[in-house]
Structure 1
Amino acid sequence: MTNNAVASRRAFLGAASAGLFVGAAGCGGGGGDEVVLYCAADRLHAEPILREFEARTGIRVRPKFDTEATKSLSLVGSLIREADAPVCDLFWNNERGGTEDLAARGLLAPHRGEAWEATPERHRDDEGLWCGFGGRLRVWIVNTDRMPATREALDAELAKAGAGGAGDLSFAHANPRYGTTLTHFSLLHRELGDEGLRAYYERLDDAGRVIASGNSAVKDLVAAGTVACGWTDTDDAYLALEAGAPVETLPVLLPGPDGPAPVCIPNTVALIRGGPNPGHAARLADYLLGKEVAVRLANGPSRQIPLTPVSGPLPEDVQRFAALARDAVPLAGLDPHRAAVLAWLSGEPTTGDAA
């Protein structure tokens, strides 16, 4: 985080705590009984939850969704452009990197509700600027008609490709500029640095890489046997499994403090600084972060992992995901690596490995 960003964040938080900003617990603001939500989560999973909130509260939710390929980064860009005259009240992001970028720019408002208090520290902002919920694991999805779903088989094919051999592996991942794939590449950059990530990228090219429009498209390519395997999230992989496709999954493992560990990427929710309806935004945030929505997401088609203790029943696969997520790779401190990956993919010069 730059010194200017830190100063901006601290100045805003000081003003908010002094009462100079109409806080999230205040009245609804200028939009009447409505709240404007920018939503990077899949419409399929988000809309039923938003409609239920409307039915219970009488508050109309005006969501803005974006495309599967660009949704997270595109919505972050919109929020940055609108900073001087915010339109959005609440941001439901499908990852946390872009949300942390907004926090560093001083564009988020603090809100510490009951759910924030219950959320583990590693899945929330210390100052209440955002809170995580509904985690998904990054996984290898493997077409078992094309190759065995084992780490040995994957490692062997990647080794052949890296040595210039004629491996049989064909591999897909989503565009690394966006969403959870950007987080994945940011973690790879933290592990490998600039040159190491470029070399790894070339190995994937040698292995027959296909860059898909999104994680759902990766799932479709593997399920159809167009490619042998790929990276996606557990919510997309589950849809292929539920449809009876010949696929199996293996958690992506990256270096953690105690050795190789899974990657768990939460959704995040954050109030927008200066949004026209802060009271309604806080109410919707508390609803999204609540236990009822956590159980609903866990039992729904997205199979998302509760990040707080819940009392409702959880499917066996979500229980397995949750056990893995408890030992997941830390995601804190990825900002410089995220910036380095975006600069590299945009063709901008880099200044060496990120700190």
Structure 2
Amino acid sequence: MRRPLARRLASLVAAGMLVPALAACGSDEPAGLVIYSGRNEKLVKPLIEKLEKSLKTRVEVRYGDSAELSAQILEEGDKTEAGLFLSQDAGALGALSKEGRLAPLPKATLDKVAPAYRGTAGDWAGVSGRVRVIAYNPEKVPTPPDTVHDLVKPEWKGKVGYAPTNASFQAFVTGMRVLEGDDATRTWLKGLKANGVKAYDNNLNVLDAVDSGEVSLGLLNHYYWYEKVTEEGEGKIDAKVHFLPKGDPGGLVNVAGVGKLKGADAKQNAYAQQAVDFLLSSEAQTYFADETKEYPLAAGVKTTTKGLPPLDSLQAPAIDLGKLDSLKETLAMLQDVGMV
């Protein structure tokens, strides 16, 4: 299972600080392509090795938090050493797109991904999707709620778990701000806190708390449950997951995505384009489906995870994912209500 993300408020306050190079593939020969990756090294390293073989050049990867890496790219401008940005979420790509730091992608590349999962400016594309769900313990909750707005009701007092410092929760809150406005989102957050919501360090702990009955419900991404079931067997897991209907903000579909960076020389730009196409290839998309239990986003590639509903069957909220770029404002709101 993937490791939890660290707190991100401090990293945003220090947005101009550089992120060190944490890992690279290949020998000491000069890298043909430098990637800044907000995706966890353990999660994507096997895929990067496949990419390196496909490109027939050394690939250097610098790992870090997506928001922090996005800030670094803005700081570096045209002097950036990177040719490609692989982001944990759409918001960091949206921030770069807004500042004109991403190069356009060819129509043939963009057309591999549905419009909902790519940048409206045509400069980034999603490569894998994850859905916000409610995990629930059927012994305590025979019928889970169909909206996160119900979680502030007295019947759920002290019965809900969440991971407020996790990037996926913060992206969900940003999505709610985009969909319903700041005032409504702040009111919901205050209601959730007043209702005794229980904070955990990460989504895995939230899921474990639901599974054990410590809490009745938990807010997390879908793949945590499917990974746990794959590792332990569904018969050993008491918790279930509920996909929210009717465009509820708690059913946000967010994406990990990729964009080429402006400022790269012609050779690295060419490698970056090949890398984007590789990440949208059947081989890479199947890797996401098989290994991370996320949704493949390229046309023609289906999920291989048992019991995972098709992406096009979900009733996710309609949202421009590039607008999830206002994470700093979300963190300020969470701090203001006392959640981080």
TM-score range, shorter chain: 0.7 to 0.9
Counterpart CA distance in 2 for 1:313 and 1:346 is 37
Whether 1:334 aligns to 2:328 is no
Whether 1:303 aligns to 2:293 is yes
Whether 1:91 aligns to 2:85 is yes
Show the counterpart of 2:55: 57
Counterpart CA distance in 2 for 1:331 and 1:295 is 26
Q: Describe the shift of the 1:55–1:149 C-alpha distance in structure 2 as closer, same or farther (beyond 3 A).
A: farther
Counterpart CA distance in 2 for 1:167 and 1:122 is 35
Secondary structure at the counterpart of residue 269 of structure 1: strand
How many residue pairs get matched? Answer: 302
Name the aligned partner's letter for residue 287 of structure 2. R
Asked if the contact 2:157/2:197 (under 8 Å) is kept, the reply is no
Q: Of 196, 206, 231, which residue of structure 2 is paired with 1:208?
A: 196
Q: Which of these two proteins has the greater Rg computed from alpha carbons?
A: 1
Name the aligned partner's letter for residue 199 of structure 2. I
Show the counterpart of 2:19: none
Structure 1 residues 278-334: Cα deviation after superposition (integer angstroms, max 9, x where no partner): 22211111101222211221122x21212232257733434x142334x42122173
Q: Give % identity.
A: 19
Structure 1 residues 21-55: Cα deviation after superposition (integer angstroms, max 9, x where no partner): xxxxxxxxxx9443221222233331111111223
Structure 1 residues 128-168: Cα deviation after superposition (integer angstroms, max 9, x where no partner): 3101121111111224455446227988764116xxxx835
In structure 2, runs of 5+ residues without a counterpart are 1-28
Structure 1 residues 152-208: Cα deviation after superposition (integer angstroms, max 9, x where no partner): 7988764116xxxx8351321342xx6332221122223443332222112222333
Name the aligned partner's letter for residue 277 of structure 2. D
Asked if the contact 1:133/1:266 (under 8 Å) is kept, the reply is yes
Whether 1:139 aligns to 2:133 is yes
Secondary structure at the counterpart of residue 296 of structure 2: coil
Q: Normalized against structure 2, the TM-score is what? A: 0.76
Q: Of 307, 327, 332, which residue of structure 2 is paired with 1:317?
A: 307
Asked if the contact 1:254/1:263 (under 8 Å) is kept, the reply is no
Q: Normalized against structure 1, the TM-score is what? A: 0.73
Whether 1:117 aligns to 2:105 is no
In structure 1, runs of 5+ residues without a counterpart are 1-30, 349-355
Q: Quote the offset at 1:217 in angstroms.
A: 4.2
Counterpart CA distance in 1 for 2:282 and 2:132 is 23
Secondary structure at the counterpart of residue 109 of structure 1: coil
Show the counterpart of 1:198: 186
Whether 1:172 aligns to 2:170 is no
Secondary structure at the counterpart of residue 307 of structure 2: helix
RMSD: 3.2
1:15-34 aligned at under 5 Å gives the runs 32-34=30-32
